[in-house]
Homo-oligomer: A and B are copies of this chain.
Amino acid sequence: MSDIELNKRQETILQIVKENGPITGENIADQLHLTRATLRPDLAILTMSGYLEARPRVGYFYTGKTGNQLLSDKLKKLQVKEFQSIPVVVNENVSVYDAIVTMFLEDVGTLFVVDKDSILVGVLSRKDLLRASIGKQELASIPVNIIMTRMPNITVCRNEDFIMDVAKSLIEKQIDALPIIRDTDKGFEVTGRITKTNMTKILMRLAENDII
C-alpha cells in the first residue's frame, strides 16, 4: 500500500487529524483557513490511501497506518495453505542410508518421519543426515529414529497459519522447512511442507505483482 508522496498540506492535515480526531472536514478546513472544497482532493487521497478513515456524522480518524502499512497488513495475512509444497515422508524404521537415498531421489532438503499410523514422529534435515554420515557407524544399519529430531522438539504449522509466522520460525530456529500438519486423535498427520524455497518464491511473486 501506498507509496503516495504526500504534499505539505496533506502532511498538515494528517497532523491535525492525529491530534484532534475524530474531526469533521469543515473543522479541518477552518484550522487551515481554507474552504472545504479546496481540501476535498487532499481528504480523498488521505482516505483512499488508508491514512485516514472517514465515518459519516463523526468525522475523520487517523488510522495510524503510514506509508506501506497496508502492504504489510496484506503480507501478514498470507496463509500457509496458499503456498505449500508436497511433503516427503519416510517410516521411522528405515535406515539412515535409505533416508539419504530418498532425499536425493525426491530432491528435498527435509524429510518427515512417520510411524505406522502415519503420524509425525520426527524430522530429518540434510544437516542431521550429514552429521550421522561422518560418524563411524554403518549408515545402512542405523534406523532414522536414532538421529532424527523428535517430538516435542519439532516446530509444526497448520494450513491457516500465517506465512510470516512460518518465516519467523524458519529464521529463529535456523531450519529449512516446517511440516504442515492436521490434528488427529492419534497425533499430527503431515499434509504439506513449507520451506525457505517457498519464501523465496513468494518474494519473486511479489516482485512480479502476482500476489498482492
Contacts and interface: CB of A to CB of B under 8 A. Distances in A.
B4 A48 contact: yes
Contacts of A203: 75, 163-164, 167, 199, 202-203, 206
Contacts of A41: 40-41, 44-45
Contact of A48 (B45, B97, B104): B45
A32 interface: no
Interface residues of A, number: 57
A100 B206 CA distance: 36
Interface string A189-206: 000000011011111101
A20 interface: no
B134 A206 contact: no
A137 interface: no
B212 A3 contact: yes
Contacts of A109: 126, 176
6 contacts: A1-B1, A3-B50, A45-B48, A49-B49, A68-B209, A72-B207
Interface of A: 1-5, 40-41, 44-45, 48-50, 67-72, 74-76, 97, 100-101, 103-104, 107, 109, 126-127, 129-131, 133-134, 139, 163-164, 167-168, 170-171, 174, 176, 196-197, 199-204, 206-209, 212
